[in-house]
Chain A
């Protein structure tokens, strides 16, 4: 089955700098890759997603890139702000099969 690896497990950046989180997946047939943000005491919330027919997607300060050949995708957050501090999860899915999540990255934005 699908396996998703996420790195790094923790990331600390200065406010205003960029943050990058990377994920690799094992099943080349996976075609949907969402990113979730989880704040303390809350459920994961979708922040951006990308499908395999697109190489990059951007939404304001957040962007996701997908490299199907290398089977990896990345989350990029620019101009980070304190409210970006949270745990971020990547996931992968093939068709209508279940989402497989990465282990999460705890992002801390230092003022």
Chain B
């Protein structure tokens, strides 16, 4: 199994630009999670999906952030417009059961907003 796949691995953009992060969960997993990691705040859950449906988006910082999961094998996290304080490593994770199984993390996308 290839594990959770994220792209791009690194993204550098200018303030105000739209950023789209992509994730392919492990095949057969039906829960998908987006996390943000910073030195100051550690690992924070932004949103998670179960069977492609958003279940908890209470961690999404503000309306500039949006996430979609159009099918079981693909999800996007979009930031529009981006700001320097969005600079962080964004992880996608997936699990088999509805939040009760082990979460497997992808390699992350390091985002830098100038």
Number of contacts between A and B (CB, 8 Å)? 43
Residue B91 CB within 8 A of the other chain: yes
Stretch among B14-22, B63-71, B76-84, B102-110 lining the A interface: B102-110
A42 engages B99 (CB within 8 Å): no
| CB-defined contacts of A101 to chain B, threshold 8 Å | 42-43
Q: Bound complex: CA of A54 vs CA of B3, how far in Å?
A: 29
A96 on the interface (CB 8 Å rule)?
yes
Cβ-neighbour of B99 out of A43, A46, A96 (below 8 A): A96
B67 → chain A, closest Cβ, in Å?
Answer: 15
Q: Count of B residues near A, CB < 8 Å?
A: 19
Closest chain B CB from A79 CB (angstroms): 25
For B41, give the chain A residue with the smallest CB separation. A103
Which secondary structure characterizes the binding site on chain A? Answer: loop
**Contact indicator A43/B91 (Cβ below 8 Å):** yes
CB pair A97 B107 closer than 8 Å: no
Contact B99 A98 (CB under 8 A): yes
What residues of chain B have their CB less than 8 Å away from a CB belonging to chain A? 4, 33, 42-43, 45, 48, 56, 91, 93, 98-100, 102-108
Binding site for B on A (CB under 8 A): 32, 34, 36, 41-46, 49, 89, 93, 95-99, 101-104
